[in-house]
A and B are shown apart, each in its own frame.
With several copies, the nearest count.
Chain A
Amino acid sequence: MEKRFIYADNAATTAVSDEVLSAMLPHFTKAYGNASSIYKLGRDAQADVEKAREKVAVALGADPKEIFFTSCGSESDNWAIKGTAEMMSKKGKKHIVTSVFEHHAVLHTCEYLEKHGFEVTYVPVDEKGLIDSENVRNAIREDTALVTIMYANNEIGTIQPIEEIAKICHEKKVLFHTDAVQAVGHVEIDVKKQGIDMLSLSGHKIHAQKGIGALYVRKGIVLPNLIHGGGQERGKRAGTENVPAIVGLGRAIEIACSNIVEKADIVTPKRNRLIDGILKLPYTRLNGDRDKRLPGNLNISIEGIEGESLLLMLDLNGICASSGSACTSGSLDPSHVLLSIGLKHEVAHGSLRLSIEEDITDEDVDYILEVIPKVVERLREMSPVWEKMMNGEEVK
């Protein structure tokens, strides 16, 4: 078996594609004007920023005036949530509804607000990683300022009933934000049809640069700034516009959203082959609903081994994968997402996330399916936990 290099961690980040890079390149050294400058070099930069804004708007079914560029998905989440909190607290609304398995950009922002006089209800998810919209309905109170529920989970890839939740929010006259960082480019989104009030996205998950994101804010919502200063982004987000990254995001989202169905048709069967192949190993389970999930995501718990060593072993075999979210690696706690769907700590520690895209070949799939059993075997052989399991002893 010849060693291959397979990047199967597209949910963590993606390479900037050649097409995106070539759209960006002129803006570093030639078309480098400040988009706020009055001379042609500046005006051209501004025109390019506006073209990119248009592309983001088209991809979401929004109006360009509703798109604001930010520095990342995390900033978008922080802005939407803290901004709404600031705005609504003036009306005495100091309650937020979210879910237990949001990304930390949402969770830690909610925790911050809890320290500043807000109450937060964390709606549970079921064992398949899905949110029941009725739970959202029941969580909404008179003083609810915002409901924020992620579109697709970053670890287990499950897709939430966003349109249903949005509908409930509108019935209850509560604003609805969704962290769609993992969804954009992979599922079809239409903010108007789906009734989404605010939506966060991030460029580096769809082959644009890291450090660029956007927030869609429905017309009529006057969100206070998170970052004050110059008049950029119609006065709503200060900081000299990151023209190359913005242009790149425009191109990337255009490409990513141009063939969502076709990509899913290619990726899903390969993803399923990986799932079925890995599940042949004893003591494994698929995390998250098998169907209501992102086409390229699989997340499997493999008992008796620990995730980080699994990843390091896979890396030695040329496979880039993840366990829990990249942002929290370095943390010792098992993934809050896996705990939220009912996994025991020791099982949650041994989970594997692969996030693939349409460029993965059948040979790559074969290779992964050859490597994983070997690596798992090796790790289980040296695992005292596996030994206990095999001896029928209790694992504490």
Chain B
Amino acid sequence: MMYSEKVLDHFSNPRNVGEIDDADGVGEIGNAKCGDIMKMYLKIDKGIITDAKFKTFGCGAAVATSSMATELIKGKSIDDALKLTNDAVVEALDGLPAVKVHCSVLAEQAVRAALSDYYTRQGIDPLPIVGEIKEPEE
């Protein structure tokens, strides 16, 4: 198993760690039993993600993918954020070991979960827009 320099960089200096107290959407995915939990906080203004923060319990890849995912969506429109795929996260990190690809899926789903929460708070049914959130299998 080998981490790219990019992964190690995003692990050592994770971008956007923390919480947003007055977040507009908060999503959490994963479970401690599997060893990974990601919690994502979004600040959204006029359809634009103006800030993103995360807290993560998990391996190096879990931290790095959280960090990268927040970087990739910050300043983007919700539409663009919804288009974020785990592949894009993996690519942006110069790849992930095969056993760690599931972390990028978690990161993708954490973003969607936060957006889902955002719509719910707006009184809008998120399902048609965000789709089903996939919890990792145990």
- In the bound assembly, the distance between CA atoms of A331 and B98 in angstroms comes to 11
| B36 part of interface (Cβ distance < 8 Å) | yes
Does the CB pair B31–A384 fall under 8 Å? no
Chain B residues, Cβ within 8 Å of A364: none
CB distance from B136 to the nearest CB of A (A): 10
Chain A residues, Cβ within 8 Å of B55: 382-384, 387
Chain A residues, Cβ within 8 Å of B56: 382-384
- In the bound assembly, the distance between CA atoms of A306 and B63 in angstroms comes to 11
Contact with A along B9-42 (1 / 0, CB 8 A): 0011010011000000000100111111111000
Number of interface residues of B (CB under 8 A): 31
Q: Is the interface of B mostly helix, strand, loop or mixed?
A: mixed
| A396 part of interface (Cβ distance < 8 Å) | yes
- In the bound assembly, the distance between CA atoms of A61 and B9 in angstroms comes to 35
Chain A residues, Cβ within 8 Å of B17: 381-382
Chain B residues, Cβ within 8 Å of A306: 35-36, 57-59, 62
Chain A residues, Cβ within 8 Å of B31: 396
- Out of A43, A305, A309, A382, name the residue touching B2 (CB < 8 Å): A43
| A76 part of interface (Cβ distance < 8 Å) | no
Does the CB pair B35–A334 fall under 8 Å? yes
| A99 part of interface (Cβ distance < 8 Å) | no
- In the bound assembly, the distance between CA atoms of A385 and B36 in angstroms comes to 9
Contact with A along B98-120 (1 / 0, CB 8 A): 01001000000000000000000
| B60 part of interface (Cβ distance < 8 Å) | yes
Number of interface residues of A (CB under 8 A): 32
Contact with B along A44-55 (1 / 0, CB 8 A): 001100100000
| A349 part of interface (Cβ distance < 8 Å) | yes
Does the CB pair B11–A346 fall under 8 Å? no
Does the CB pair A309–B11 fall under 8 Å? yes
Query: Which B residue sits closest to A380, measured CB to CB?
Result: B57
Query: Which B residue sits closest to A383, measured CB to CB?
Result: B57
Does the CB pair B99–A331 fall under 8 Å? yes
Chain A residues, Cβ within 8 Å of B99: 330-332
Query: Which B residue sits closest to A303, measured CB to CB?
Result: B32
Chain B residues, Cβ within 8 Å of A334: 35
Query: Which A residue sits closest to B39, measured CB to CB?
Result: A384
Chain B contact residues, CB within 8 Å of chain A: 1-3, 8, 11-12, 14, 17-18, 28, 31-39, 54-60, 62-63, 97, 99, 102
Question: Can you show 6 pairs from A to B with CB atoms below 8 A apart?
Answer: A307-B59, A308-B58, A329-B1, A346-B33, A382-B54, A396-B33
Question: What 14 additional pairs, Cβ within 8 angstroms, besides A312-B11, A345-B34?
Answer: A46-B1, A307-B59, A308-B59, A312-B8, A312-B12, A344-B33, A345-B32, A345-B35, A382-B54, A382-B55, A382-B63, A383-B56, A386-B57, A396-B32
